[in-house]
Chain A
Amino acid sequence: MRIDGKGLIDRTKPVRFRFDGKDYAGYKGDTLASALLANDVRLVGRSFKYHRPRGVLTAGSEEPNALVEVIGAKNQTPNVRATVQEVFEGLVAQSQNRMGSLRFDLLAVNDYLAPFLSAGFYYKTFMWPRAFWEGLYEPLIRRAAGLGSLSGKHDEGVYEKAFAFCDVLVIGSGPAGLMAALTAGRSGADVILAEESHSLGGRLLSDGGVIGGLPAGEWVAQVVAELQALPNVRIMLRTTVTGAYDHGTYGALERVGLHKSARPNLPRECFWRIVAGHTVLAAGALERPVAFEDNDRPGIMMASAVRTYLNRYGVSPGKRVTLFANTDAARATARDLMAAGVTVAGIIDPRPDAFSVEDCPVHVGAEVIGTRGRLGLSAITVRKGAETFEIETDCLAMSGGWNPTIHLTCHMNGRPRWSEDLAAFVPMEGAVPGLVAVGAANGSMSTHGALATGHAAALRMVDALGRKVSIDLPAAEDAPYQLRALWAVEGKGRAWLDFANDVTTKDVKQAAQEGFRSVEHMKRYTTQGMAPDQGKNSNVAALAVLADATGRGIAETGVTTFRPPYVPVSIAAMGAGGRAEGFAPQRFLTSDQASRDRGAPMIEAGLWYRPSYFPKPGESTWREACDREVTMVRQAVGVADVSTLGKIDIQGKDAGRFLDFVYTNTFSTLPVGRVRYGLMLREDGMVLDDGTSARLGEGHYLMTTTTAAAGLVMRHLDFVHQAFCADWQVRFISVTESWAQFAVAGPKARALVNSFLETPVELPFMGVAPVRIGGVNARLFRISFSGEEGYEIAVPTRYGEALFRDLVARAETMGGGPYGMEALNVLRIEKGFITHAEIHGRVTAHDIGMEKMVSAKKNCIGKEAATRPGLWGPEREQLVGLKAAEAISAGAHLFVPGTEVHRETDQGYVTSVGWSPTEGAWLALGFLKDGRARIGQKVRLVDHLRGIDVICEVCNPVFHDPEGEKLRA
């Protein structure tokens, strides 16, 4: 219920929202949890395993129970913590993990089966029979696993990732964080202050108090105003620092637009990588529950959360509240409630020596041993000595003390230290280089302690940055933190430790009994701490119960490993911008639009988009277009954009020597104006790439690489140069992007090319010459990848589109036209030219029949390694051509006809396949054991995936014009 006059919500701005199909009203500044509690909605979810009714437990990101689905126009987000989600006009949320309605969840039957569902149930039950694993058990387990549900659609929402840098990162904005940020900020250092919630102040917003003579709220407002005015301070609200990484790098998740209805372009979340010189961890502490029988009913909450709902949101979670707590500080919750006019039906304090000053029944030396109320708390049972009695109550505020939020300090393998005084783990100093934990996160539990340690840490950082600052420490309460540890109340029934994963004290004890005594084993056996809250509420209590069950101390028992992220991070935020086309850059040719104008479907070749084929009216399949284009090139002339091939400009006195070193064959002897085909090996002797290199001048070469290996070859050249011959007179740079290059191939290629040149040239096969086209300096190569007389014209990229359009238009007047990747592939298969389908990284020069290209007169990279035994000879699979009358497929394997088809009899495989309109047959390239000796024989080609089983003829890989007469015409 809402309490008049309390809270920091904006009562002038009512907000309507919907939960489980019902409309409610809240105020700006409410979370979904506070707004539901204000509407007396206590039941908000069902537990994971037993489907027990559950209500809000906390007021922060550690919430284990109140997980809901938020439904947007484009998104359905599961497992949203109602304690974090702010309400906005039109917010739609629903409960999850239920079958039927929230009030009558059919799966609540699990609760009655609880005796059978204890720790290790899955491991014990789903073991046998083995035949049930896949068919029955897996679907069953998958059905039961997980909490929320997804829409099944792509998340079309906008997400962002970003980088930030600062001198001092302050994590958390309670008294410690604000003091540190103010100290560092005043010194002029670049400060980032990250706060998980939607306003600065931390516990001060809930707990009040007096700082420097001012009410805490006023002090916060003053500090915030000063920080906002400092240009060097950046305040990041709704930002949770999720992980600590090397070199002062932190991951952080910002909820940018989740508190608003979707707006165009507004990111939902942003994943930050923050690099900080120094870091102040002022993340505070998390209050821990106490395990007692049926301690999981809606209405049972953390005492600090009750206080937060009252003071920050103006909501009392109950009308008759009780308090069960083992610290003096927790009594403030009861006092605040009474001051606000809420009935406090009793304070139960397990400490026999506790004080009793409150104006309500106080039961010292007493414990809560049971509760009633099916869908919400109605009464608690209290035991005091030998006496037990019931108290009617609809809200029990509980506190078992506080656990410092040490998570980030453990992300780089640091182990926390057990403090007997606090009965809690505290950070090990220096566990994360550059990070200093202060305030409650470091075990300083008073407001004064928080201010003083935040101040001191920031002063040291300011000093280390070579800056100066003078700032006084304001006075504040410095009450000692006194508690007697209480983890679990003795009892027979189920007492919950991990609310999110339904793990009780019984499960932990059973794990210990069954031999899972290590805390890491207990965790995995019981699943304690493995829910979305990652054990924030339960880890320490669970290991205390384990320590007790195994007769060890807590320090000896140890704690499980804390790993990033501190809160769940949506993959969409981490992968922001990387979905669909954002996955990789798109590289477009200058001819791209011209190709699309002609209806060419584009296919990806690496990052490039290349035309697949150019359909003509009447053609209904790609094959028709491809066959026509192949025939067009063989009989007239075709034009193809080959700009994607890698081009590397190599200059210097030692350029030829360098090429001799990286290529198997010799380039230093290549005459100026000529082009040579070259083969390049990796250091291990396998083929790296092939291509042509042209000698443009005495000390000037232009290397061409395949499209696929352009980057790889550049990297290889850089490596060879830097590692082996850094002092040579050679320099090289990629010019791939500088030139648009077009292949012109076919019997009419020469006529077409010459019609473009200002001065026609008579170029020999494998010649290169500078030419002029339409006033532009261009390069003409006579090379061929099709087997026909072929040329490649290169112009500066800016002229690429114009030249392509002109070439194609004129080719069409000669019975020619453009051809795409499909035809290009068929043409080269007909000619037996290899691509990276063949030189796939596991073949040698010998395998592809090019061993004679490895010059005996000189050394080169990979030459020695290629002579190792097993890399040459008849046992190798060698490149062959294959010819078949029926359709065959790349990826098929080869066998001797008549032998059985299995792994041991495998004789080779097929790498490239195409229908050859020229040969009137299916042609393929592939690798066959001792293949060159088997030309003329038959092999059996089998593709189990596509159901192909065909007898093929083994051929010379060069089907078309084997003598090369057309090339040299």
Chain B
Amino acid sequence: MPELIAKSALDGQAPLTLGGVTLAEAAVGPITSIAVLPGGAKAVAKGLKPLGLAMPGPNSFAEKAAARILWTGRDQAFLIGVDAPALEGAAVTDQSDGWAVLALSGLGAADVLARLVPLDLRLSAFPVGRAVRSGLNHMNAVILRTGDYAFEIMVFRSMARTAWHEIAAAMEAVAARASLKS
């Protein structure tokens, strides 16, 4: 039995840069869902401590070294980038293959997302470290602000191509608008 070849959701898709905004598939490493069971909060906190992380508050994420912890719902978070430690008090489920992660960066990144996401993306309302479950046009998505001009967008893996297409179309429209000013 030969080894099985692993492919990412958008395998072979080169990054796209338009109007100073770049879209690329991001490799974020393992994704593990941690769902705290009733009475399990203390045990989970203890288990996460060695990573320097704690369960994040609603609509936020936190990072420590290569590890990121992302709020995804009530009593639920995704641990990203590192293998999950042994955890008592929580249901732990591998989600690494369930998501496609797209990185969108550049000065106009928020303008591009404003075509698809019904959220207030102004830095004052959506600062770095904010993460929400919202809609990306017709898709469910988790949207993270990783920098003043950088976002990561998580969608169901099977919808990666639609997400890419829709973000790329928004980038094209934004870039075409910019050309009007000249």
CA distance A514 to B162 in the complex (A): 58
CA distance A755 to B1 in the complex (A): 8
B residues in contact with A739, CB < 8 Å: 97
> B180 and A260: CB pair below 8 A?
yes
Q: Can you list, as one digit per residue, whether each of B95-114 has a CB less than 8 Å from chain A (1) or not (0)?
A: 11111000000000000001
Judge whether B158 is part of the interface by a CB distance below 8 angstroms.
yes
> B35 and A584: CB pair below 8 A?
no
CA distance A160 to B172 in the complex (A): 11
Interface centre among A158, A263, A587 (most CB of B within 10 A): A587
> A731 and B90: CB pair below 8 A?
yes
Interface size class of chain A, counting residues whose CB lies under 8 Å from the partner chain = 35 or more
Q: Given A165-B125, A256-B177, A266-B176, answer yes or no on A589-B158 (Cβ-Cβ < 8 Å).
A: yes
> A590 and B91: CB pair below 8 A?
no
> A733 and B33: CB pair below 8 A?
yes
Judge whether B118 is part of the interface by a CB distance below 8 angstroms.
yes
> B162 and A263: CB pair below 8 A?
no
Interchain CB contact (< 8 A) of B93 among A164, A265, A267, A649: A649
**Binding stretch for chain A, among B3-11, B57-65, B144-152:** B3-11
Q: Given A163-B119, A257-B180, A756-B1, answer yes or no on A590-B7 (Cβ-Cβ < 8 Å).
A: yes
Judge whether B2 is part of the interface by a CB distance below 8 angstroms.
yes
> A263 and B158: CB pair below 8 A?
no
Q: Given A735-B93, A797-B98, A797-B157, answer yes or no on A773-B4 (Cβ-Cβ < 8 Å).
A: yes
Q: Given A733-B35, A738-B94, answer yes or no on A267-B177 (Cβ-Cβ < 8 Å).
A: yes
Interchain CB contact (< 8 A) of B159 among A162, A585, A727, A755: A585
Distance of A755 from chain B, by nearest CB (Å):
8
A residues in contact with B99, CB < 8 Å: 737
Judge whether A513 is part of the interface by a CB distance below 8 angstroms.
no
Interface size class of chain B, counting residues whose CB lies under 8 Å from the partner chain = 35 or more
> A651 and B6: CB pair below 8 A?
no
* Least CB separation from B1: chain A residue: A774
* Least CB separation from B126: chain A residue: A165
Q: Can you list, as one digit per residue, whether each of A588-619 has a CB less than 8 Å from chain B (1) or not (0)?
A: 11100000000000000001100000000000
CA distance A264 to B173 in the complex (A): 9
Distance of A248 from chain B, by nearest CB (Å):
11
Q: Which of B110-164 contact A (CB under 8 A)?
A: 114-115, 117-122, 124-125, 137-139, 156-159, 161-163
B residues in contact with A260, CB < 8 Å: 180
Interface centre among A163, A190, A799 (most CB of B within 10 A): A163
> A267 and B162: CB pair below 8 A?
no
CA distance A588 to B117 in the complex (A): 22
> B6 and A727: CB pair below 8 A?
no
> A266 and B177: CB pair below 8 A?
yes
> B179 and A263: CB pair below 8 A?
yes
A residues in contact with B3, CB < 8 Å: 774-775
CA distance A80 to B157 in the complex (A): 43
> B7 and A798: CB pair below 8 A?
yes
Judge whether B88 is part of the interface by a CB distance below 8 angstroms.
no
> A266 and B173: CB pair below 8 A?
yes
> A729 and B96: CB pair below 8 A?
no
> A729 and B38: CB pair below 8 A?
yes
Q: Given A587-B159, A733-B95, answer yes or no on A802-B37 (Cβ-Cβ < 8 Å).
A: no
Judge whether B169 is part of the interface by a CB distance below 8 angstroms.
yes
Q: Can you offer 15 A-B residue contacts whose CB atoms are under 8 A?
A: A158-B173, A160-B173, A190-B124, A265-B172, A266-B179, A267-B176, A267-B177, A275-B120, A586-B161, A652-B37, A731-B35, A738-B94, A738-B95, A776-B4, A802-B4
Q: Which residues of A contact B (CB under 8 A)?
A: 158, 160-165, 190, 256-257, 260, 263-267, 273, 275, 577, 582, 584-590, 607-608, 649, 651-653, 727-739, 755-758, 773-776, 795-799, 801-803, 806
Q: Which residues of B contact A (CB under 8 A)?
A: 1-8, 33, 35-38, 75-76, 90-99, 114-115, 117-122, 124-125, 137-139, 156-159, 161-163, 166, 169-170, 172-173, 175-177, 179-180
Q: Which 10 A-B pairs have the closest CB atoms?
A: A651-B91, A731-B35, A731-B91, A737-B98, A797-B97, A587-B158, A266-B176, A738-B98, A265-B172, A165-B120
